[in-house]
């Protein structure tokens, strides 16, 4: 690494850049001698190929392995559970609001949308749970950044859309939210609301710099969530959800699993000692799979 200049890789969307800048502000505050430069990397996901596992991170990981960048900032929920050889997650930031939100054109809550209303989402996890709550709605695929999705709704393609609260909060756009969906109704994506900083293995200096923003309670919560995703065999395209909450020495984990056609949806939860989190995650995975 040249004299304390760290190259940071990220996607170029407004949300990705906002998230990266938020993290960098915090890292700079804790490492005043280090300067940073942001390098924007285009991914398959940005090009619309969102069905590949890791669509939003593969190219960034490649740049990291090729030493074109020193650190990468990702939304943790975009990261597959299998980490590429030679890379590690050096820090997981404190979690934002984990909930999903409904934004509707006429400011109607989910229960008040008329039968047949068109609701936009690209997430199998959200589709499965929406179908469980309101099987009479017309769920239509949507992709694109926050602004383009909102525009599509305004243009009349959709009556409502579902997004993550965390992204809207970071973009200072909470004002567009019609309704926050409860975690029981809409179990969040694994890692939702948390950001991950990825580095090359064995780079102690970089690890020390970014490790200062690692948030232990968030890390302790997302590890069992990622274990559940991995053990149920899901990439980010499977209807799988898990949310763990750490309080003192205790942990509670909620999970959701459905089949490929969004049917046979099952929800379950476990509670126990934090130190048993992986065993609890394994227990929950079995309950969901059965």
Query: CA–CA separation, 253 vs 221, rounded Å?
Result: 8
Active-site pick, 78, 97, 100, 159: 78
Starting at the earlier edge strand, list the strands of the sheet with 87-92. Answer: 35-40, 5-10, 71-75, 195-200, 87-92
What are the tokens at 37? 């430069």
Q: Which run of H or E residues covers position 88?
A: strand 87-92
Classified as helix, coil or strand, 44 is: coil
Closest CA to 278 of 236, 239, 221: 221
What are the tokens at 41? 């990397």
C-alpha neighbours within 13 Å on the C-beta side of residue 10:
26
Closest CA to 71 of 243, 201, 161: 201
Active site residue 147: no
C-alpha neighbours within 13 Å on the C-beta side of residue 166:
20
Query: CA–CA separation, 112 vs 104, rounded Å?
Result: 10
Active site residues per annotation? 78
């Amino acid at each position: 690494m040249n004299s304390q200049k760290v190259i940071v890789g990220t996607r170029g969307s407004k949300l990705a850049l906002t998230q990266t800048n938020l993290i960098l502000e915090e890292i700079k505050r804790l490492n005043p001698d280090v300067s940073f430069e942001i390098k924007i990397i285009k991914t398959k996901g940005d090009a619309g190929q969102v069905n590949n596992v890791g669509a939003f991170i593969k190219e960034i990981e490649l740049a990291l392995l090729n030493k074109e960048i020193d650190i990468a900032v990702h939304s943790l929920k975009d990261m597959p559970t299998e980490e590429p050889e030679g890379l590690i997650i050096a820090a997981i930031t404190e979690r934002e609001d984990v909930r999903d939100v409904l934004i509707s054109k006429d400011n109607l809550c989910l229960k008040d949308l008329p039968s047949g209303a068109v609701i936009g989402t690209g997430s199998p996890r959200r589709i499965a749970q929406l179908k469980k709550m309101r099987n009479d709605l017309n769920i239509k695929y949507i992709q694109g950044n926050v602004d383009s999705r909102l525009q599509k709704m305004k243009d009349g393609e959709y009556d409502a859309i579902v997004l993550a609260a965390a992204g809207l909060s970071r973009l200072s756009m909470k004002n567009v939210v019609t309704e926050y969906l409860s975690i029981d109704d809409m179990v969040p994506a694994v890692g939702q609301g948390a950001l991950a900083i990825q580095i090359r293995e064995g780079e102690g200096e970089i690890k020390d710099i970014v490790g200062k923003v690692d948030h232990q309670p968030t890390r302790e919560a997302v590890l069992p969530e990622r274990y559940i995703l991995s053990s149920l065999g899901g990439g980010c395209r499977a209807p799988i959800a898990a949310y763990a909450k750490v309080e003192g020495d205790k942990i509670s984990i909620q999970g959701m699993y459905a089949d490929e056609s969004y049917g046979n949806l099952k929800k379950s939860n476990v509670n126990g000692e934090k130190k048993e989190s992986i065993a609890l995650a394994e227990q929950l995975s079995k309950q969901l799979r059965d």
